[in-house]
Structure 1
Amino acid sequence: MEAIYKINIVVVFMSMLLHGTQISARPNSDENIAAMKKALIDTCMAKYPLTPDIIDSAKKGLMPDDRNFKCFLMCNFDEMSLIDSETADIDVDTMVSLIPDEDMKAVIKKAADHCLPNIAGKPDTCEVSYNFAVCALKVDEKIMKIFSCGN
């Protein structure tokens, strides 16, 4: 049951990030999506608090070299079951499967092909998450749509 709930949150969260608040015409869907996004962000913020300056920088696509920010990214990947906490391997296949937009799937695949060989084998999940995000943004800035640290 928990796995299904987690998958639903991930799918809704990724859809919301890719399509903003207009992914469904159902009543209250925007509120539900916002609540799920907030829950994910709050969970990771509770573990790895970020300052307002770090959040503002990240929203602008600047990736602060800050340990809490790095671990905040890892927490998001971990909560969405996109990183193995023991090996620090990012599960690109799962990430791609969660993205409904075909263009974004291609962006993620391109970023993964370019970035993952350079960060593979590094045991620090926070560093791997951060390095993937930084590299992916250099490959294509559109990937910023899946990295979020605030409402």
Structure 2
Amino acid sequence: MISKIIAIFLALFVISHALEVPPALKKQVKKLHIRCANQTGVAEEVIRKAHQAGQLPSDPAFKCFLYCMLEIFGLIDSEHIMHLESLVEVLPEEVHAQIQRLADTCGTKKGADGCETAYLTVKCYIETDGPFIKGAVDDLLG
């Protein structure tokens, strides 16, 4: 049950630029954000600057923050393999091509560990379709 809820959260996260994100969802994502920030020790200032600049800092705690968020959303598994393409099953058809393009272009960029893998893969997503990713994050986080 929890994984279905997380999949729905993530689906809304990815397509949020096309929908009005409900305040309750934003609140839940904020709780997950706080949980991962506390778990990894990343400074909120680092996250804020990354969001504003649209560039990922090379900060180790930030890399682990990304991993934590992706893990909670069920997009990276215990083998550190990304599964972005699984979103096609729960997202509207209008975004299938964008999701598939990100998955096909980036796959899983292997790093030394899960944190580095998450960082390199998200970096590829941004390089591939930055406006799509930034729009989703902007709408979700406000």
TM-score, normalised by the number of residues in structure 1: 0.75
Q: Counterparts of 1:69 and 1:101 in 2: how far apart (Å)?
A: 32
Q: Residue type of the partner of 2:5?
A: N
The corresponding residue for 1:54 is 46
User: Identity rate of aligned residues, in percent?
Assistant: 25
Shift of 1:101: 6.2
* RMSD (Å) for aligned C-alpha atoms: 2.6
Structure 2 CA distance for partners of 1:147 and 1:131, relative to 1, 3 Å: farther
The corresponding residue for 1:18 is 15
The corresponding residue for 1:31 is 23
Shift of 1:77: 1.1
The corresponding residue for 2:134 is 144
Give the number of the structure with larger relative contact order, counting CA–CA contacts within 8 Å between residues 6 or more apart.
2
Structure 2 CA distance for partners of 1:146 and 1:77, relative to 1, 3 Å: farther
Q: Counterparts of 2:37 and 2:141 in 1: how far apart (Å)?
A: 10
Q: Counterparts of 1:70 and 1:79 in 2: how far apart (Å)?
A: 14
Query: Which entry has the higher C-alpha Rg, 1 or 2?
Result: 1
- Matched position secondary structure for 1:140: helix
The corresponding residue for 2:74 is 81
Gaps of 5+ in 1: 24-29
Q: Counterparts of 2:40 and 2:2 in 1: how far apart (Å)?
A: 23
Greater share of helix: 2
TM-score, normalised by the number of residues in structure 2: 0.79
Cα deviation per residue 1:65-121 (whole Å; 9 max; x = unaligned)?
011111111111111111112x21111232333433623x3222212212226x24x
Q: Residue type of the partner of 1:128?
A: T
The alignment covers a number of residue pairs equal to 138
Gaps of 5+ in 2: none
* Equivalent in 111, 115, 123 of residue 106 of structure 2: 115
Is the 1:50–1:69 contact (alpha carbons within 8 Å) kept by the matching residues of 2? yes
Structure 2 CA distance for partners of 1:81 and 1:56, relative to 1, 3 Å: same
* Equivalent in 66, 76, 91 of residue 59 of structure 2: 66
Matched, 1:96 2:85: no
